Amino acid sequence: MRVAGQRAITAWSWISSLLLTGSVVTVVGFVLIKSLPVLHWRLIFGRTPPLEALWRWAPVTGGLWPAIGGTFFLVITAVGLALPFGLGAGIYLADCADGRLKRGLTLLFDVLAGVPSIVVGLFGFSLTIFLHRYLSARIYPSLLISALALAFLVLPYLIRGTQEALENLPNALRLIAPALGATRMQNIFRVLVPKALDGIAGGVLLSIGRCAEDTAVIMLTGAVASAGLPKSLLGSFEALPFYIYYISSQYRDPQELQQGYGAALILLLVCAVLLATSLILKNLLARRVRGW
Amino acid sequence: MRSERCMQSALAAAAWISAAAAVLIFLFMAVLGWPLLGNGDLMQVLCGPWSPMHHQYGIRPMILGTLCIASLALALAVPVSLGCAVFIQVTAPKGLGRALHHLVRLMTGIPTVVYGFVGIFLLVPLVRNLSGHGAGLSILSAGLMLSLLIAPTMILFFVQGLAAVPQSHRQAACALGATPVQQLIYVLLPQARRTLLAGVVLGLGRAMGDTLIALMLAGNSVATPQSILDPTRTLTAHIALIIAADFESPEFRTLFICALILYLMTTLAVAVMRRLAAKPVEIP
Amino acid sequence: MKMKRTCISILLLWFACGAAAAWAGDLDPFRDESGAIKISGGTAHIPVMKAAADLIMQLNPKIQISIAGGGSGVGIKQVGEGLVDIGNSGRKPTDEEIQKYGLVLHQWAIDGVAVVVHPQNPVKALTSEQLKAIYAGTMTNWKALGGPDKAINIYTRDEASGTREVFWEKALAKGEISPKALFVASNGAMKTAVAQDPNAIGYVSVGHIDDSVAAVALDGVAPTLENVKDGKYKIARGLFSNTKGAPQGLTKKFIDFIFSSQGRALIVEQGFIPVK
């Protein structure tokens, strides 16, 4: 291979990297610069004094507080619903299933991970209509339905996170407890899971991030433009990503648009912090395992 | 010993219930779409134009729209992603490569809706003014933003593929006097070929499944696009728009066909990807 | 527009201080209430609904009012199915719909549907024939209409929209709408889209027009509130809030509030003509 060709490849790799970095810096920088003028507590609490909103749950109008609260409760509910199944399935894959069974199950989880979120949203919506008609007239598109649909969406992330954390543990560790007479389950729950806890937590944080950013599912299953803080699981709710989508197409004046930028910045920060923490936790586990 | 068995069955139940979710979604869509699947209307739905005014509910424009936007995004993202992966694994000065790797990992966390938001207020006016044609809401705008969305996923996959090539092969090439770039061309890329392809397929799956970017940036018109500056509507955006319709109308029924097509396309992508990646790779 | 915002802020401040003696009575029924009202449907209604909801929720945090869009078709369908308490529509529900679901109609405002273009566009008047040709996709350049030599970007709404229905029936006489038209999801989104695109043409509720878009006179009649009121501007419609059966409890109080003098003031403020 000639020197010119080699140079071209090196140049191409540099240009690609600069292009990518440049694009990301542009996207994030654009949001940051545009939202600087509104970075003030009024962005979140509107005209309500922050302490009133925090201590007495005073209603907030013209601020992001209801959307932030909605996203918070949504994420808690969704991950809460998915967690037992995600952890259980992850442990099962790592330590109980073998061979063809394991391959079959991971295939299904990969398929589930690939299902577009809008399809999950449509599923949630149709399920609601179905239940509303045939089970109880009190079931509407609501926070609970959105959380349920989101739980489907993040299940594969939880499973994969748990499975990987457990499988990355050194094999020797897997053998010690059984050699001393521990049963399989004792080994899993007393030895392996505690040792892999930071990796598992990393997977959980990752799925929280996925829940917080997803828009397609919630726009079909109960997110609305205006609802105030969520008061029950069966009510409609506001959410940050939906707010950003809504404002992008129907802001009424420049101030509202700027609030949209503010919301985008907050969501960006929340997701970045969650993801970074998740990566750090996974790294911690990997480093510890290497130390053994 | 009874609690031992209980525990194990609980774990198995969790796994099976989770796996059933994937099947359940498919079955639900298939059952609800059945009235259209069952009789001869299916071909009409798949190949016809969308014009509710004339009682035509074909989704061909949306299928084409999805393919156009996804392939444009892929065409833009693959060279850049491969370049970045090569940078991280081969050509970068040590610290810089790691920095980019970290940045790419963080990029996977940027919410789709933020890309859409920035696209509307930064990219769309730019495309409109530079092209001097159309509204700026176009395949090009959506494809550009979408390529940025799928690039990190592909880069992480490519990096894993390149890193998985046994060190000894690289060392052998090195001993023969190959420069790092020569090692890349003659050893790394050929050996990692299947994983790289798998990464591209994964990117394609992601691109087809995204809703918000196409919904916000592609203009959502139902005509068959003639150029990349034309607006178009994807299957995903179609679902988001028509969900508002009366849920007993024929418009609404076509949504399940859209959902089934999306489900099958992404499942196919997953299956191809798993076949290509010989040993299991961490899907970013 | 700025005026509107300022007006609302002043109003809100006024209520917060409890100094609004003249209207204070209209909100009284909500004082000891609690519960939720779900509203969805017509997007032209949203500003009025939101303003009313903000006032009520500010007064009594135990009440939760959620407002979703979707379009008139959605509003009618969802209230009929019992998914929401109030389903708004920017067109009169058909007799079939009223009968099937047992809807009770509450028309609280008159509104028009106006053709809008970008403020920089010199074309400020069109004939019905020209409008039909533009929307059918046979007239594709602004030059022929006295504008710049640029392709016309048509914007339209989805099938669930009452605004689209009224526009299609009364302005286009049920004529073609080109498949090349760009789709937006609400009145608000239509206004924003046209305000950003110098070559756009679209249609919005008259109540939503502000200085970010320019209204186009149709056959010599400008789509102003006065012309809609007098019946000179033909593309007019009512804004309806529909309930399944007679409204009950909190929902009834909300509808009564919209018809109260304070509610009517809100309607005027948002640019619509209240019905007596």
Structure tokens at A156: 């594969």
**CB < 8 Å to C5, chain A:** 253, 255
Q: Do C191 and A225 touch (CB under 8 A)?
A: no
Q: Is the pLDDT of residue B280 over 60?
A: no
**CATH number of the domain residue C191 falls in:** 3.40.190.10
Using one digit for the tens of pLDDT, what is the confidence trace for B86-139? 999 999 998 999 999 999 999 999 999 999 999 999 999 999 989 877 888 999
Of A133, A224, A249, the CB nearest to C189: A249
Element (H, E) at C161: none
Residue corresponding to tokens 């409109």 = B128
CA distance C112 to C221: 12
Question: Exposed, middle or buried: residue A243 (CB in 10 Å: 0-12, 13-18, 19+)?
Answer: buried
DSSP three-state, residue A209? helix
Instruction: Specify the DSSP class assigned to residue C91.
Output: S
- Residues C230, C251: one domain? no
Torsion sign across C-alpha atoms B179, B180, B185, B188: positive
- Residues C180, C258: one domain? no
- Residues C104, C241: one domain? yes
Using one digit for the tens of pLDDT, what is the confidence trace for A52-104? 877 777 777 778 999 999 999 999 999 999 999 999 999 999 988 888 999 99
DSSP three-state, residue C272? coil
- Residues C71, C116: one domain? no
B249 touches chain A (CB under 8 A): no
- Count each helix (H run) and each strand (E run) in chain C, helices first: 11, 11
Q: Is the pLDDT of residue B39 over 80?
A: no
Q: Is the pLDDT of residue C17 over 50?
A: no
**Which of C83, C88, C132, C180 has the most B C-beta neighbours within 10 Å, making it the best mutation to test the interface with B?**
C180
- Residues C82, C191: one domain? no
- Helix-helix angle A99-114:A65-95, to 10 degrees: 160
Instruction: Give residue C62's pLDDT.
Output: 85
Domain carrying residue C172: 112-236
For A249-279, b where at least 16 C-beta lie within 10 A, e where not — what string? bbbbeeeebbbbbbbbbbbbebbbebbbbbb
Tell me chain A's radius of gyration from C-alpha atoms.
23
Q: How confident is the model at residue C23 (pLDDT cuts 50, 70, 90)?
A: low
CA distance C203 to C115: 4
- Closest residue on chain A to B20 (Cα): A108
For A143-153, b where at least 16 C-beta lie within 10 A, e where not — what string? bbbbbbbbbbb
Question: What DSSP string describes A78-145?
Answer: HHHHHHHHHHHHHHHHHHT--HHHHHHHHHHHHHHHHS-HHHHHHHHHHHHHHHHHHT-TT--S-HHH
Widest CA span of chain A, in angstroms? 74
Q: Do B151 and A20 touch (CB under 8 A)?
A: yes
Beta strands (DSSP E) in chain C are 35-41, 63-70, 86-89, 103-117, 125-126, 153-157, 182-184, 200-205, 214-218, 236-244, 273-274
**CB < 8 Å to C2, chain A:** 253
Count of domains for chain B: 1
Bridge partners for C86 per DSSP: C39
Average pLDDT over residues C151-178: 91
Q: Do B125 and C180 touch (CB under 8 A)?
A: no
C6 touches chain A (CB under 8 A): no
User: Could you state, in chain order, the average pLDDT of each consecutive group of 10 residues for chain A (292 residues)?
Assistant: 86 96 96 91 84 76 88 96 96 89 92 94 92 84 93 94 91 89 90 90 92 93 85 88 91 86 95 93 83 66
Tell me whether residue B253 is in a domain.
no
- Residues C202, C89: one domain? no
- Residues C107, C243: one domain? yes
Instruction: Give the closest-approach CA distance of B135 to chain C in angstroms.
Output: 6
Domain carrying residue B209: 63-247
Closest-CA residue to A278 (of A217, A211, A218, A187): A211
**Which 41-70 residues of chain B touch chain A by CB within 8 A?**
none
- Residues C223, C107: one domain? no
Structure tokens at A32: 């940051």
CA distance A49 to A57: 11
Tell me whether residue C24 is in a domain.
no
Q: Is the pLDDT of residue C11 over 80?
A: no
Q: How confident is the model at residue B47 (pLDDT cuts 50, 70, 90)?
A: confident
Using one digit for the tens of pLDDT, what is the confidence trace for B145-195? 999 999 999 999 999 999 988 888 888 988 988 888 888 888 899 988 888
Instruction: Give the closest-approach CA distance of A16 to chain B in angstroms.
Output: 5
**CATH number of the domain residue A259 falls in:** 1.10.3720.10
**CB < 8 Å to B110, chain A:** 24, 27-28, 268, 271-272
**CATH number of the domain residue B176 falls in:** 1.10.3720.10
Tell me whether residue B277 is in a domain.
no
CA distance B5 to B12: 10
Q: How confident is the model at residue C20 (pLDDT cuts 50, 70, 90)?
A: very low
- Helix-helix angle A143-167:B2-38, to 10 degrees: 130
- Residues C207, C143: one domain? yes
Torsion sign across C-alpha atoms A217, A221, A227, A232: negative
**CB < 8 Å to B148, chain A:** 20, 23-24, 27
Closest-CA residue to C79 (of C237, C245, C239): C245
Of A224, A250, A253, the CB nearest to C66: A224
Element (H, E) at A27: helix A3-35
CA distance A123 to C219: 47
Instruction: Give residue C25's pLDDT.
Output: 77
Count of domains for chain A: 1
Of A59, A224, A227, the CB nearest to C58: A59
**CB < 8 Å to B84, chain A:** 13, 16-17, 20
Average pLDDT over residues B227-252: 86
CA distance B177 to B183: 9
- Closest residue on chain C to A225 (Cα): C68
Tell me whether residue A32 is in a domain.
no
Question: What DSSP string describes A137-197?
Answer: TT--S-HHHHHHHHHHHHHHHHHHHHHHHHHTS-HHHHHHHHHTT--HHHIIIIIIHHHTH
Tell me whether residue A277 is in a domain.
yes
Q: Is the pLDDT of residue B284 over 80?
A: no
Instruction: Give residue C4's pLDDT.
Output: 52
Phi, psi of C37 (to 5 degrees): -125, 130
**CB < 8 Å to B211, chain A:** 116-118, 215-216
- Residues C183, C254: one domain? no
Instruction: Give residue B132's pLDDT.
Output: 79
Tell me whether residue B172 is in a domain.
yes
Tell me whether residue C159 is in a domain.
yes
Tell me whether residue C5 is in a domain.
no
**CB < 8 Å to C159, chain B:** 52, 242, 245, 251
Bridge partners for C41 per DSSP: C70, C88
CA distance B70 to B207: 5
Closest-CA residue to C84 (of A140, A100, A277): A140
Q: Do A108 and B23 touch (CB under 8 A)?
A: yes
Structure tokens at C155: 């914007």
Phi, psi of C205 (to 5 degrees): -60, 135
CA distance B207 to B4: 44
- Residues C173, C105: one domain? no
Q: Do B117 and A274 touch (CB under 8 A)?
A: no
Asked whether the beta carbons of C160 and C71 are under 8 A apart, the reply is: yes
**CB < 8 Å to B139, chain C:** none
Instruction: Give residue C19's pLDDT.
Output: 41
Instruction: Give the closest-approach CA distance of C166 to chain A in angstroms.
Output: 21
Domain carrying residue A177: 63-290
Q: How confident is the model at residue C18 (pLDDT cuts 50, 70, 90)?
A: very low
Count of domains for chain C: 2
A39-45's contacts with Cβ under 8 Å and 24+ in sequence apart are A39/A262, A39/A265, A43/A259, A43/A262, A44/A68
Average pLDDT over residues C61-88: 88
CA distance B156 to B142: 22
Q: Over chain B, what HEC string results?
A: CHHHHHHHHHHHHHHHHHHHHHHHHHHHHHHHHHHHHHCCHHHHHHHCCEEHHHCEECCHHHHHHHHHHHHHHHHHHHHHHHHHHHHHHHHCCHHHHHHHHHHHHHHCCCCHHHHHHHHHHHHHHHHHHHHCCCCCCCHHHHHHHHHHHHHHHHHHHHHHHHHCCCHHHHHHHHHCCCCHHHHHHHHHHHHCHHHHHHHHHHHHHHHHHCCHHHHHHCECCCCCCCCCCCCECCHHHHHHHHCCCCCCCHHHHHHHHHHHHHHHHHHHHHHHHHHHCCCCCCCC
Q: Is the pLDDT of residue C61 over 50?
A: yes
CA distance C110 to C45: 11
Tell me whether residue C101 is in a domain.
yes
